[in-house]
Amino acid sequence: MKKKVIITALITIVFLVSLLIDLSGFIWIALLTLLVVLSLLLIIWKSVRRKSIKSTLRLFGICFLILMFGILMGLFVPYKQALPNKKLSVSEQIQYIYNSDQSDRKSLKTYIISHNRELVAERDETRLKKIKGIYTDYIDEKIELSEQDKFNLSMIFHHGKTIEDYEIAHKLATELVESNSKIQNVEWLAKATYDRLLLSQGKPQKYGTQH
């Protein structure tokens, strides 16, 4: 009975993590790899000691199935909405769209299911269309943007498709660097946007950030 309760609890935890954490698929793969390595070491150790390895194999099988359940769960969890479905302030809209952009790129299903890559590309277009309107309002001085807003917008434009998108991404990131912004990764973003801009123009990248 106690064993069943523990297994049920583990499955529940894996289920919830798979639903709530974008990187869950990669986490389960990492844990599965660690489980295999540790299990092999334990089997070798028990073999040398001439001890039974049945319990080890049984435990490995249970853990393997639980982690595989987590991986499969993540593949079927739907993407979050690309755009907010309620009225938010400009900064809140930008933050939501940024989170959506990042969430798509942290999901294992984006990389192993070809249809999802096409879906993410469509979602990128939806996000870009929205933030281009916001950026136009900023250029026309209808709204103000915080440093975090600029960083978020730069990252989203960085995932655009055109030279103009990359120019805007680099412009925003450069503004932050020149203002000595303390936002994490802003210097990397300035380099990455510049490299992507160069590549879009058929030129070699300068900093080697694009792979």
pLDDT digits (tens, 9 = 90+) for 19-57: 889 999 999 999 999 999 999 999 888 888 878 888 888
What radius of gyration do the chain's Cα atoms show? 23
pLDDT value of residue 16: 92
pLDDT value of residue 50: 79
Q: What is the DSSP letter of 87?
A: -
- Given pLDDT bands bounded at 50, 70 and 90, which one contains residue 156? very high
pLDDT value of residue 46: 85
Q: How high is the mean pLDDT of the chain?
A: 92
Alpha-carbon gap, residue 43 to 50, rounded angstroms: 10
Q: What is the DSSP letter of 52?
A: -
Q: In whole angstroms, what separates CA 21 from the centre of its chain? A: 10
Indicate whether 1 pLDDT > 90.
no
Q: What is the DSSP letter of 205?
A: -
Q: What angle do CA 192, 197, 199 make, to 5 degrees?
A: 95
User: Is 171 exposed, middle or buried, given 0-12, 13-18 or 19+ CB atoms closer than 10 A?
Assistant: middle
Q: For residues 149 and 160, is the Cβ–Cβ distance under 8 A? A: no
| Prediction pTM value | 0.88
